[in-house]
Amino acid sequence: MKSERDGSIWLLLTVLALIWGSSFILMKRGLYHEEVPVLTPWQMATARLAIAWLALSPLLFRYAALFPRHWKPLLGTGLLGNGIPALLFATAQTRIPSALSGMLNSLTPLMTLLTGALFFATPVRMVHVLGICIGLLGAMGLVLFGQADGLGGWSWYALLPVLGTLGYGFSGNIVKRHLHALPPMATAALALTWMGPLAIGLALGSGLPEKLRTDPNAWNALGHVAVLAVMSSAFALVLWNMLLQRTTAIRASMVTYLMPVVAIAWGLLDRESIGPIQLGMVALVLGAVWLVSAAERGR
């Protein structure tokens, strides 16, 4: 039974890594067409949230009755796990390579541990503190030495994905602590209900309809955003909630072990350059995540 449970956990981790690791290149395709800007970060983020909510909205007929009882944690995970990170990663994608966004996303397990210790009474050992310090050192190195497109040695935009992972950390702990008993599809649909209707209004007010009418590349960009929304923000969110039901928030966030590999592969296929210093910083980040994960398994 335990081996079957571990097998399902690793299967979910692998599928989520493939989906979320590919999301960075989809964001780039939504923002640019042959290096020419198409959608703004605001248009892409709001369209992504709106489409993801519409994809899951049929589930509201079944689960809407759960909303009044759990509205506060659903608001927290909807805002911190979906709304804010969508805008942060979209904005960062305009100034840093997609592979670098994927690398920085590896901080998610460390942020999950940090927020759990500070706000959810998660026990912390010295090895956890060591892992956090090493991971943050690696993240700082990625910021300082990342070669963002034409921006020289570093870019403050690389801090935006770091803030996004902080939101993911809060969201994972909220779901694990307060929404654990809800069906995974209910948690996904109801959390996005806080974001979806608002996102529709914001997308319409962002100039997106006019962009679709006047720019011949806009529909192609929106198509990539739609794939991103359905796969990474709707379907993957259900799988993520399933994973959180089967294991701890820290172990679930191990999905980011594999995501940089997928993101780097897409980045290289898209002719993005990855320098040896960046790879060294990634090794620090992933080493820190492995250290924290090993400590979790040793409890």
Q: Supply the pLDDT for residue 209.
A: 96
Q: How far apart are CA 282 and CA 50, in angstroms?
A: 33
**Closest Cα partner for 241 from 166, 186, 169?**
186
| Run of H or E including 153 | none
Compute the average pLDDT of residues 47-64.
Answer: 97
Identify residue 67 by its one-letter amino acid code: F
pLDDT at res. 96 = 82
- What's the chain's average pLDDT? 86
Residue closest to 25 by CA, chosen among 258, 262, 277, 203: 262
At 166-200, the pLDDT tens digits run: 999 999 999 999 999 999 999 999 999 999 999 99
What average pLDDT does the segment 273-289 reach?
A: 79
53, containing H or E segment: helix 41-56
DSSP 163-225: HHHHHHHHHHHHHHHHSTTS-HHHHHHHHHHHHHHHHHHHHHHTTHHHHHHH-TTHHHHHHHH
d(CA 192, CA 114): 25
Higher pLDDT: 29 or 279? It is: 29
Q: What whole-number distance in Å separates Cα of residue 49 and Cα of residue 227?
A: 12
Instruction: Check if the beta carbon of residue 237 is closer than 8 Å to that of residue 104.
Output: no
How far lies 214's CA from each of 28, 125, 217, in Å?
Answer: 20, 57, 9
Kindly indicate the confidence band of residue 31, based on its pLDDT and cuts at 50, 70 and 90.
very high
| Contact indicator for 134, 291 with CB cutoff of 8 Å | yes
Query: What pLDDT shows up at residue 263?
Result: 67
80-101 pLDDT, tens digit per residue, is 999 999 999 999 888 887 767 7
Lowest-confidence region among 29-43, 140-154, 226-240: 140-154
Q: Give the strand pairing for 36-37 and 32-33.
A: antiparallel
Q: In the predicted model, is pLDDT for residue 1 greater than 70?
A: no
Cβ-Cβ contacts under 8 Å for 46 (sequence gap 6 or more)? 199, 200, 202, 203, 206, 208
